[in-house]
Structure 1
Amino acid sequence: MTIRFGLLAFPGVQQLDLTAPYEIFASMEDAEVHLVWKDKGPIISATKLVLQATTAFAECPQLDVVCVPGGSGVNALLEDEVVLSFVRAQAAGARFVTSVCTGALVLGAAGLLEGKRATTHWNARDFLADFGAIATPGRVVRDGNLFTAGGVTAGIDFGLTIVAALRDQRQAEEIQLSLEYAPEPPFHSGTPDEASAEVLAATRQRLSGSRRAREAIMARLLAVNRRAG
């Protein structure tokens, strides 16, 4: 049976958030993978790599797996009702609702994280509680049909986890071997706990612009929710 995957492809997406799970999904037997956006056409990623949306919202079939990647472009999506409505509608009929990195914040803004265990990039995990989620560290966190992955490279672990859940571990391992996914990083600074104080401080500074913008958006969203309540 064909499994339909849909990854949200939006301006400012972190390309590895999208392309890492895409590579794994597309390697699965009987997979149909869509890059979905409001309309078809080129998408410029956060690092200026040009991607191509293949399926417009209006023509997108019901997806078995809906995946929202992260990136600096996530900020705009948090207040984009067209995007949030699309994600809600697809999530209602999807087998798995998923995210990579800060894509979890879009699921939160769509109201899909309430009472759920979820993770995201370490520099954004504290925002999850604002959406009623239970912030949970981990490369991949599952709560029922909700799968969320940590930052960027966690999308590889996530993709393999999804294949194992949809098919079986054997097929996931075959894909892992075919991609020679056997990470041996040259440095041990991939998490705040491992990184030196100097590296952590510099990285927080590097990410501070996007975070400040996100904090302002979250303040607006919380104010709206308080008025609505």
Structure 2
Amino acid sequence: MKILVMMADGFEEIEALAVVDVARRAGIETFMVSVSDKDEVSSARGVRVKADKLLKDIAVDKEDVIVIPGGQGVAVLEKSAELAELLKKHRSYNGRVAAICAGPTFPGKLGLLKGLKATCYPGCEKDLLDAQVVFDDVVIDSNFITSRGPGTALTFAYAIVGEVLSQDVAEKLKKGMLFKN
């Protein structure tokens, strides 16, 4: 099992890197994956990050988690037909997907949230096609984890760890990282 954080120019730093940080602290094999043909990805505020892998070079197993951070990079992610097909295939066997901020709009536009409870950044709800929109910080429904935005990034990351490993592991991480709800 591994976590694959999809990265595109314009990604929201805290939403992507909080997941990478918390998952790696939990001992989960975690990769930053560039959806372009270059391994350097630039964030919304110009922070350059070297991705671990390119999308064209990864294999996704049923137990893996695909993570879609928010930010302006979502518009770039949406242009990747390869990623769209990967998401559809992964969800066809109920594979885990986690998306935060504007990130849920990508699977939402693909119809992958139909009938599920989901949340997103305020104002993006119209793109959660046929989802039951809720306004909690983190929403988990049918192996789909969604969250609201930068301020909920750590809660989102702990929720992913809690779903993949256990709530006990997530709670230990919270305590060790001095996280307070």
Same fold by TM-score greater than 0.5: yes
Q: Is the 8 A contact 1:62 1:94 kept in 2?
A: no
Q: Which residue matches 1:36?
A: 33
Q: 1:136, CA displacement in angstroms?
A: 1.0
**1: CA distance, partners of 2:58 / 2:72:** 24
SS of the residue 2:46 aligns to: coil
Whichever residue aligns with residue 47 of structure 1, its letter is: R
**2: CA distance, partners of 1:5 / 1:40:** 20
Q: Is the 8 A contact 1:36 1:56 kept in 2?
A: yes
Unaligned regions of 5+ residues in structure 1, if any?
184-229
Q: Pick one of 17, 20, 35 that aligns with 2:18.
A: 20
Q: Is the 8 A contact 2:20 2:31 kept in 1?
A: no
Instruction: Decide which structure has the larger Cα Rg and report it.
Output: 1
Q: Which residue matches 2:73?
A: 73
Whichever residue aligns with residue 15 of structure 2, its letter is: D
**2: CA distance, partners of 1:99 / 1:61:** 19
Query: How many residue pairs were aligned?
Result: 178
Percent of aligned pairs with the same residue? 23
After superposition, the Cα gap between the structure-2 partners of 1:124 and 1:54, relative to the gap in structure 1 and judged at 3 Å, is same
Instruction: Return the structure number with greater relative CO, CA threshold 8 A, min gap 6.
Output: 2
Q: Which residue matches 2:127?
A: 127
Q: Which residue matches 1:104?
A: 104
Q: Deviations over 1:110-132 (max 9, x none)?
A: 3311121110011322332xx22
- After superposition, the CA RMSD in angstroms is 1.9
Q: 1:28, CA displacement in angstroms?
A: 0.9
Whichever residue aligns with residue 30 of structure 2, its letter is: V
TM-score with structure 1 setting the length: 0.71
Q: Is the 8 A contact 1:66 1:94 kept in 2?
A: no
Q: Is the 8 A contact 1:117 1:143 kept in 2?
A: yes
**1: CA distance, partners of 2:149 / 2:177:** 20
Q: 1:80, CA displacement in angstroms?
A: 3.6
Whichever residue aligns with residue 117 of structure 2, its letter is: R
Q: Is the 8 A contact 1:85 1:110 kept in 2?
A: no
Q: Is the 8 A contact 1:121 1:152 kept in 2?
A: no
Higher relative helix content = 1
